[in-house]
A and B are shown apart, each in its own frame.
Chain A
Amino acid sequence: QSVLTQPPSASGTPGQRLTISCSGSSSNIGRNTVNWYQQLPGTAPKLLIYSNNQRPSGVPDRFSGSKSGTSASLAISGLQSEDEADYYCAVWDDSLNGYVFGTGTKVTVL
């Protein structure tokens, strides 16, 4: 059972803006920076956002991240069919003294 809660699923039509939430606590999101990973079907996860809102080289600017208090969000603007994937938030938890992943959100493009 993860300490980071995400909605199990989210969906949208091509071109829409989609937002995924990640709810944590003062010992994790409240104190440390959040990372987001994208896992396409049958593949290894890929770093999508680091340090709350930074994109690694090669990640389209359609993807953006934000953090407020003990929650974080990932936004996908101009949703595309290739964005269908599982998305995970992750952060260091000072109380657990370990890295924790969110429960994951499956994004479907209708």
Chain B
Amino acid sequence: QLQLQESGPGLVKPSETLSLTCTVSGDSISSSNYYWGWIRQPPGKGLEWIGNIFYSGSTYYNPSLKSRVTISVDTSKNQFSLQLSPVTAADTAVYYCAMSGYYSPYAMDVWGQGTTVTVSS
């Protein structure tokens, strides 16, 4: 069964780069027509889609974050990553990685447990 696990620093300073990795287990990240993506949830607020990357490398980003976001895939490590730069306090959130495409291209079928990132000096 496919599982996802986020990892990365829990604290990032303002104006620096937030870097998170999602490790995929139970299947190859490049074996099927899946999308790999990131979603975040600020404290006490709703969900916000950050972006997706297709197994072929094509990327799709939230227009409001596009200028600051990069999502990439490392097939050798079966991981995909998120970089957000520069960050401000408004980027403090729980960050989730997710997989789409098993049931529907835009339905996020499998989620990681989430990792909390705080932006503070």
A interface vs B, CB < 8 Å? 2, 32-33, 35, 37, 39, 43-47, 50-51, 54, 56, 88, 90-92, 96-104
Say yes or no: A51-B61 contact (C-beta < 8 A), given A45-B108, A88-B47, A104-B47: no
Q: Does B80 contact A (CB under 8 A)?
A: no
Report which of A35, A46, A103 forms a contact with B46, defined as CB distance below 8 A. A103
B105 and chain A: residue at smallest CB distance: A92
Distance A103 CA – B63 CA, assembled complex (angstroms)? 18
Distance A88 CA – B48 CA, assembled complex (angstroms)? 11
Is B46 in contact with A32, judged by CB distance below 8 angstroms? no
Which residues of B from 28 to 80 have beta carbons under 8 Å from A?
39, 46-49, 52, 60-63
Distance A51 CA – B49 CA, assembled complex (angstroms)? 18
Is B96 in contact with A35, judged by CB distance below 8 angstroms? no
CB distance from B3 to the nearest CB of A (A): 12
Residues of chain A within 8 A (CB-CB) of B121 are: none
Is A96 in contact with B63, judged by CB distance below 8 angstroms? yes
The segment from B18-26, B85-93, B111-119 found at the interface with A is: B111-119
Is B49 in contact with A44, judged by CB distance below 8 angstroms? no
Report which of B46, B48, B109, B112 forms a contact with A47, defined as CB distance below 8 A. B109
A-B contact pairs, 7 of them (CB 8 A): A33-B106, A45-B47, A50-B107, A88-B46, A91-B106, A98-B63, A99-B49
> Which of B60, B62, B108, B109 has the most A CB atoms < 10 Å from its CB?
B108
B103 and chain A: residue at smallest CB distance: A50
Is B61 in contact with A98, judged by CB distance below 8 angstroms? yes
Residues of chain A within 8 A (CB-CB) of B47 are: 37, 39, 45, 88, 90, 101, 104
In the A-B complex, the 5 residue pairs with the smallest Cβ-Cβ separation, listed nearest first, are: A50-B107, A99-B49, A44-B111, A101-B47, A104-B46
Residues of chain B within 8 A (CB-CB) of A104 are: 46-47
B35 and chain A: residue at smallest CB distance: A99
Residues of chain B within 8 A (CB-CB) of A54 are: 103-104
